[in-house]
Amino acid sequence: MSAAVAALVALGFGVIAVRRRSHATVLVALQGLILGVTAISREGGESGAMAVAGAILIIRAAAIPLLLLLARRRTPERTLVAPTTSVATRLLVATAVVLVAVAATPPLGIADRVAEHGAVALVCLGIATVVVRRPALLQLLGILVAENGVYLLAIAVSGGVPAAIELGVLFDLVLVVTVAGAFAGKIHERVGSGDTDLLRGLRD
């Protein structure tokens, strides 16, 4: 589990660092793959639970990234949206946020403390991605990183979270990704770019 958590967090940092939306999408797909394999390996051979974990793996690691890649194809950028901060600054801020959050998190009552820290780190990385990245699709990927953190904690719960809840959450996630993809397309059509900084007109 520790290696999987380390890989998930490293991929989360990658989403904050990389410039291309396609690269970030692949990193999130890899997170889905690691989570799916971890979930299957913890099910212990019970066929119903294995089927649910398998379905979740396919949706998280393949279907959702495919939806995102389609959205990216519909919203081609002539030039990459320039980040407002350098890679080093983004990584430094994200590292500081993650370290503070992990240090401040009390035991959550889940036997696997590494998974608890990993989940909190991923949720923080997801929020940080939304805050520091400007393209709409990268902000959506930030949401997915945060959701992956929650799923990591759900996998680590002894006996797992009920399949009905996991599938319900997944359905909602696909719904949100679909709607967010439509938004990304509409924003691109309206302002000629997926850069959400161009949408800053509402102020008091």
Residues in touch with other proteins (CB under 8 A): 106-110, 119, 123, 126-127, 130, 136, 139-140, 142-143, 146-147, 149-150, 153-154, 157-162, 164-165, 168-169, 171-172, 175-176, 178-180, 182-183, 186-187, 190-191, 196, 199-202, 204
Q: Report the number of secondary-structure helices (H) and strands (E) in the chain.
A: 8, 0
For helices 87-104 and 113-132, give the axis angle rounded to 10 degrees: 140
What minimum distance in Å lies between the beta carbon of 82 and other proteins?
A: 20
Torsion angle of C-alpha atoms 12, 168, 66, 90, degrees rounded to 10:
-20
DSSP secondary structure string for all residues of 152-163: HHHHHSTT-S-H
Minimum Å gap between C-beta 140 and other proteins is: 8
Is residue 23 within 8 Å of 50, Cβ to Cβ? Answer: no
If the CB atoms of residues 65 and 194 are measured against other proteins, the closer one turns out to be 194
Closer to other proteins by CB, 82 or 164: give it.
Answer: 164
Give dist(CA 172, CA 137) in Å, integer.
18
Classified as helix, coil or strand, 11 is helix
Decide whether 29 or 145 has the Cβ nearer to other proteins: 145
Of 86 and 128, the one with the shorter C-beta distance to other proteins is: 128
CB of 192 to other proteins, least distance (A): 11
